Amino acid sequence: MKISLVSSFYDIPNEVHLLNLLFCNGLEVFHLRKDLDCKHLGGTEKYTEKRIRNYIESIPIYFRDRIIMHSHFNLVEEYGLLGAHFTKKYTHQEYLKDEGLSKKHFKKIGFSLHSIAEITEYADTYDYLFLSPIFDSISNKGYNSKFNLTRLKSFLETTSVQSEIMALGGMNHTKVEKVNELGFSGLSLLGHIWSRFDEDQDIIGALNRYLHIMALKNGFLEKQTETKA
């Protein structure tokens, strides 16, 4: 099971300090996704390329190959980042067409989905798929899950798609075991880390929430290894 982290949609004080601490404690994949029109701040200023550059440059060079961009894809190669994440609003195929390219251009590419039926449609194109919201969202109140978990588990147990399928939405320490049981490749955190940190600025508390989930994940992997042995 893999654990990744999606950025807060808007800037949080000391956000990058916490992020770098998480990198130091084993965070392998970070999704840099900002609200491009700052809706959460009630403003109209765009999250410009300059702001994105400043964000990336505040992360040590030796962590940058763990970053997946959700916008400003031109920066991936320039900064040596891991890859790019696409959506139905702008697919990888559209990107290739715009750039005059004929094949995959990044180390890793991903896509966002919201139904089981879409998985087989996009699985051959992307290295991983975000499926959401699996549980009611923490960061986006009112964005609730509509998945039938029994049906989802059956699909994940029988599907032969090559893409990693990552669970997103409502992820916290109480959901790790369930995500593992459902058969996901892993999960991606968002609100569990950022929402409380935005309120209390407790960097150690946020780190401990992350470490707790990593400990749970490692515990499940050890049990699976023992069972196979």
* Residue 213 CB partners (closer than 8 Å, separation 6+): 3, 172, 173, 176, 189, 192
Query: Is the pTM higher than 0.95?
Result: no
CATH value of 2-228 in 3.20.20.70, 3.90.550.10, 3.30.1330.60, 3.40.50.150? 3.20.20.70
Q: What are residue 86's phi and psi, to 5 degrees?
A: -115, 165
> Identity (one letter) of the amino acid at 223?
K
- The residues spanned by each domain of the chain are 2-228
From first to last of the 229 residues of the chain, give the pLDDT tens digit. 999 999 998 899 999 999 999 999 999 999 999 976 544 444 445 788 899 999 999 999 999 999 999 999 999 999 999 999 999 999 999 999 999 998 888 999 999 999 999 998 998 899 999 999 999 998 888 888 999 999 999 999 998 888 999 999 999 999 999 999 999 999 999 999 999 999 999 999 999 999 999 999 988 666 665 555 5
Q: Which position has the token pair 């180390």?
A: 107
> Identity (one letter) of the amino acid at 212?
H
Quick one: CA dihedral 101, 165, 25, 173, positive or negative?
positive
* Residue 180 CB partners (closer than 8 Å, separation 6+): 1, 217, 220
